[in-house]
Every structure is written in C-alpha cells, then in structure tokens.
Structure 1
C-alpha cells in the first residue's frame, strides 16, 4: 500500500495500492467537472437505483459532487483499476451525518458508500479484491468503517458481509431537508468493519 501524487486522471490519487492478482487501484477525489458525465451514466442505471440519484441530469450530478467537494466531512472518490474507472466511493464523518441518529458513533468511525461500475463481462471475485484496497484506504488512521445500504439492497448487504462487515440492525435514516440538499428518509441496514 502506498500513497502517491502521480495523477490517474485530472486529479492526483490519495491512495494507490497494488492488489495481487487484480491490479493497481488508484483512489482520487471526484473531479465534479471532469467526472460528472461518467458518474451520471452509472447512477442512472436501474442497478444503481439504491444510490438515490436516478433521474438526475449531468448538470445535477456535477452540482451534487461540487457541493460534496465543498464539505470537510463528506468526500467523493473515483476509483480506477489499472487506469480504468471501476467504482464510486464516498466517505464521511458519521457524527456529521444523519446516520449518527441511528447508532452510537465511536471515535475513529468512518462512514462509507460504494457504487461499483457496470461491467460488460462480470469478473468473479472482482468486488472482493476491490474491497481490499477500499477498506485499506478507509481504515487508514481509523478503527471502524460503517456502511448503511438500503435495507432492500440484498446484493450490497451480502457483498458487505462477504467483505467481513458485521451486520447490524435495520434502522430508518431520517429525512434531510436543507436548502442545499434534500435526502428522503431511508430504511437501511447498518454494517460495521473493525480494523
């Protein structure tokens, strides 16, 4: 595992890791301008319905990630394997998020969201090997990762369990209704990965 400054696109990566038998994974902050069209295509597929951005335009995706980029508590990352975009990864401080109303946030917690890019040809073991780099990045300097996928997203919940997350209770994440962002209430399943 290394941290590097060589660019993997227009934005320098914050984490670079070679995963044996998989390739080199580079995690770089989302470039709202440069990555909006790519992300728009991903989040508007039916398979990404739980991401909550279906029906958005490219401009709306750009605005959402520009807003995220302006925050100090929430971060969006584009993940590439050997130069190819393969996932959207978001981290956040649980104490600054609605999830804090649903569980006892501990020092060292970090929240995570993952959207794996569509694949023309599914690759057995792809997500498991990708998670090696994602969890190494998320848990660097942290003690526990917290995920809260939609309770109806059985595939994501199973993927987290296979990655070593301990499944927690179902909760209702409260609605967020602010001038700059609106997020409806969501029934979610908590999951925890301790380093």
Structure 2
C-alpha cells in the first residue's frame, strides 16, 4: 500500500500511548490527537476525494478542531494520531458503542468497543503498510483487557476497507442505516484477530 503525503508536516514529539514494530514496514505509534495542532493535517486529508466516506469534507479547520475537542472531552470516546517516521500518518477514533448510534442497531455485549480510522494521502508505496496500520490499531485496542470485541460500520460502498477488515478477522453482520450512510456492520473478537496474525506467520 502507500504512506502519507508530506504536504503538511508536524514533527513535534508527543508521548506515544502505544507503539508496534512491523517487519518490512517499521514502527507505527499512536499518540493522543491534539485538535488544534492536528486540524490542518486533518482538513487536508478530509477534503480529498479518497476520504469521502469519512463524511467531513464540508468541515473547516476550526470545525474539525471543535469536533475533536468535544469528542475527547465526552468521557466515552477518544481520538488518536498515528505516526510513522515522525510524521502524522493516520487518525483513529475510539468510542463506546453504547453512546453511539451504532449501538441501537445490534445487541450490545460486555467488552464491545468501536473504532474508525483513516490513513493519510499516499506519498510512496510500502507493501503491507495499511495492513500494518490496522493491525496496530487493533493491537492497541485489544491491549485493554476490558475490550473483547470491536465493532465497525464502514460505508457499504467502501470495498477497500471491507477487504482490509476481513484480513484482520472482521465478520460482516448486515447492512444498517445510519444517519449519514448505509453501513456494513462488522465485528472482530480478540481471538479472531490474533488467529489472523498466527495464520500470517505460518504462511
């Protein structure tokens, strides 16, 4: 896959909340998102055509900063910036589905958690780059012993993400109607994710 476009660069060191090394790719890390500092990068990403499924192309930098400030202060969600070689590379939203509209579309179980992610625009090809990113994101979530299952609801038209989700163990449940999209409700358990890693090693 590909790595980020360096049009906008922030190299300020931030404490990492999680880091993981991937063979042939390198280290990927997650830090708490800084709404003010990161809004320029996010605006650049969100307004590109490839990010249309993120549904924030209409937002200004100030609106993006305000959105993530509110999300981080909610008490039931958090946002993270992912870094590669010191550069902002992907964003992660992590949330309790009990406080999200997706929680109204299935029977919630103890240990459920939700996440969204978006990768920065491409700059150069790195085989397995996006797969390494989603593996880092899932490893970060499952490092919390309280999280037993992750739920996602990508736009039903987003075939690239559906294929990536399948590679890390997500099982599609059914289409659901959310306020802003028709989504494909999907789940992955801790064991299912780790089984994909073991299978990859064997292959």
TM over 0.5, yes or no? yes
Q: Secondary structure at the match of 1:170?
A: strand
List 4+ stretches of structure 1 deviating above 4 A. Answer: none
Q: Secondary structure at the match of 1:169?
A: strand
Q: Deviations over 1:123-170 (max 9, x none)?
A: 221111122211100122211111100111111111111222111111
Gaps of 5+ in 2: 1-10, 191-203
Q: What TM-score do you get using the length of structure 2 for normalisation?
A: 0.83
Q: Does 1:171 align with 2:176?
A: yes
Q: Does 1:36 align with 2:39?
A: yes
Which residue number corresponds to residue 193 of structure 1?
Answer: 188
Q: Is the 8 A contact 2:25 2:126 kept in 1?
A: no
1:113 deviates by 0.3
Task: Calculate the aligned-residue CA RMSD, in Å.
Answer: 1.4
| Greater helix fraction, Structure 1 or Structure 2 | 2
Q: 1:84 aligns with which of 82, 87, 95?
A: 87
Task: Report how many aligned residue pairs link the two structures.
Answer: 178
Which residue number corresponds to residue 155 of structure 2?
Answer: 150
Which residue number corresponds to residue 74 of structure 1?
Answer: 77
Q: What TM-score do you get using the length of structure 1 for normalisation?
A: 0.86
Which residue number corresponds to residue 122 of structure 2?
Answer: 119
The 2-side partners of 1:73 and 1:9 are apart by: 27
1:74 deviates by 1.3
1:87 deviates by 0.5
Q: Is the 8 A contact 1:10 1:34 kept in 2?
A: no
Q: Does 1:105 align with 2:104?
A: no
Gaps of 5+ in 1: 1-7, 176-183
Moved more, 73-82 or 122-131: 122-131
Larger relative contact order (CA 8 Å, sep ≥ 6) = 2
